[in-house]
Structure 1
Amino acid sequence: MPDTDEYRDILLTHVDAAFTSDGITDTAVDAVHEYCAGVEHIGTALDILRRAGETAAAAGADTVTEAHVQAQLDDSSRPVDLPSDA
């Protein structure tokens, strides 16, 4: 399992590939990192980011915010998608 700094670097690499520079706030990324830092699969964080992006888009927002991320973290009725080898 990557250490916290490596995990953040991996997360940021995916964020940079998936979002424009103004497409997600630093606090949104920080919230995902904080929630998922101890999780073995980066897929958990990526799933939360994907769902937060879908929530933002459905609301007509141009930027994914911490509130969009928090909505995914608070929604216990929607399980996080884990890789099949979990």
Structure 2
Amino acid sequence: MTSLEFHLPALQVAVPLLLAPVVVLLRPRGLAWAAATATSLMALAIAVAMTQGILDGEVYRYAMGGWEPPYGIGLRVDRFSALV
């Protein structure tokens, strides 16, 4: 697993959350639509990349902030969560 692949579960959450305010603040409507489309395509690309890894038998585990559960928030992506 590459270093970018390790962060995919966090990016799946962070990319839309961080770019949503940017889209709202864009004044020209066409530019806002383009930014929203780009954000959606990035989220789709992250989901496809994780799904490919999951179909190869990989389970993604990510500890937010480096704190392992039960003290921190743990993200886990497996076959069932990819289906949902």
TM-score, normalised via structure 2 length: 0.30
Query: Higher Cα Rg: structure 1 or 2?
Result: 2
- The structure where helix makes up a greater share of residues is 2
TM-score, normalised via structure 1 length: 0.29
- The structure where strand makes up a greater share of residues is 2
